[in-house]
Amino acid sequence: MNFWNPYLETLPREAYDQIELSYFRRMFSFSKEHSGLYRDKLKGIEEKDIRSLDDIKKIPFTEKEEMRKYQEVEPFPYGGLLGAPIEKVTSFRQTSGTTGKPIYVPETYESWQWRVESWCHILYMAGFRPRHRVFLPFGYNVYVAFWEAHFASEKVGCELVPGGALDTKGRIHKIQEIRANGMMNTPTYGLHIAEEAKSMGIDPASLGIERMLCAGEPMPPATRKRLEELYQCHVFDHIGGTEPCAWAGMCEAKDGMHIIEPFFLVEILDRETLQKEVDEGEIGVAVVTPLGRRSFPLIRFNTKDLVIKGKNGCSCGRTSKMIKEVVGRTDDLRKVRGVLFSPKTVEEVLRKEFQEVEEFEIIVERRGLMDVITLRAEANPGLTVSSIEQTKARLRESLKVATNLSFNVIMEPPGSLPRYTLKAKRFKDMREGGKNE
Ligand SMILES: [Zn+2]
């Protein structure tokens, strides 16, 4: 059986559109009635005004900033974001707060089950089955994705091993000890575990991981391939967030990601005006409405995720809309010397052409009137002094071709750059007004 839900995953396009429109209308009225945020925000618009998916475009987006403002009121700590009586809330989670005050996420038991069910689609699509013993190498804390991954694994029938409260070496030993054959991690941490295993004299491929599900940061195809080579396993990507939930995932065809329809209405809008749906192959901003979660309703949430719109339909038989690739966050795209620059392009070049580079960091500074962009590349221990100069020259050339920018390249000794367990912070914009998160 290839589908988690054969009926929902193979509906004709018109059926998805019809169901999503009707769910959207229902969520619209529900939100207006039950949440303080939407009582104010949707004033003057009625459910009867939404007759087609096009009409939805007239409804304002929900931005993180206003969510912060609305959660300041009673009932503490969710305020106007809450869509259910507070005594019905059964779990507290929150965003990481790296870009400001965290958003607190209330889930009732029912809404939590909705999240878990939609996550089951992500896992099943990536080939996770009851035969898998899945290692989750993190302490979960208050962060929602780990808990979703945990409970969805159970629901799919996998055997889930929580891997918190251990350091990376301890986790590698645990994977060996219990013979885990599945893992869920950020791409960065997957690479780090492999590097650490090698330093312990263990070939990552010998760990026996068959399937790896990644998320948390945009994963260039070259990084995915590198992980597949290191572990000799299948690696899948998915995208989501604390507020909207995970809304698209890669199937076994590994050719883009399926939007989890009809759980979510996903619009991919042109990034200048945020009005028009982009065409296949174009970059747009993902605007997501979860269509069945009532305790924490969200209407047209601006994820600020930049994605390339994909084709409709796939060799796996699923009929949902697809995205081709995740490009990054709208915040990650910067102008450097007048050129639009995405850090992901650099990662793609490094992972594809430069096996000798273990870690990297990109720094943009202003010197006088000029933007200077520097790549600090950490050589792997096998690199000889004479080949370092060659690598530097090749790096400068490849990066120039890929980004249209001249990089200042510095080679750093093995082990000198920071390692990350969750989301990597490899891009530093030191210019005035540049966000350095
Ligand atoms: Zn597919």
Tens of pLDDT along 388-435?
Answer: 999 999 999 999 999 989 999 999 999 899 988 777 889 999 987 665
Burial class (CB in 10 A: 0-12, 13-18, 19+), 200: exposed
Q: What residues does 135 pair with on adjacent strands?
A: 161, 183
Tens of pLDDT along 188-243?
Answer: 899 999 999 999 999 999 999 999 999 888 899 999 999 999 999 999 999 999 99
CA-nearest of 278, 299, 291 to 61 is 299
CB 177 within 8 Å of CB 189? no
- Protein residues with C-beta less than 5 angstroms from the ion ligand 1: 251, 253, 314, 316, 318
64 CA distance to ligand 1 middle (Å): 31
Provide the total of helices (H) and of strands (E) in the chain, helices listed first: 11, 19
Count the neighbouring beta carbons within 10 Å of the beta carbon of residue 26.
Answer: 14
Per-residue pLDDT at 425: 85
Predicted model pTM: 0.89
115 CA distance to ligand 1 middle (Å): 21
315 CA distance to ligand 1 middle (Å): 6
250 CA distance to ligand 1 middle (Å): 7
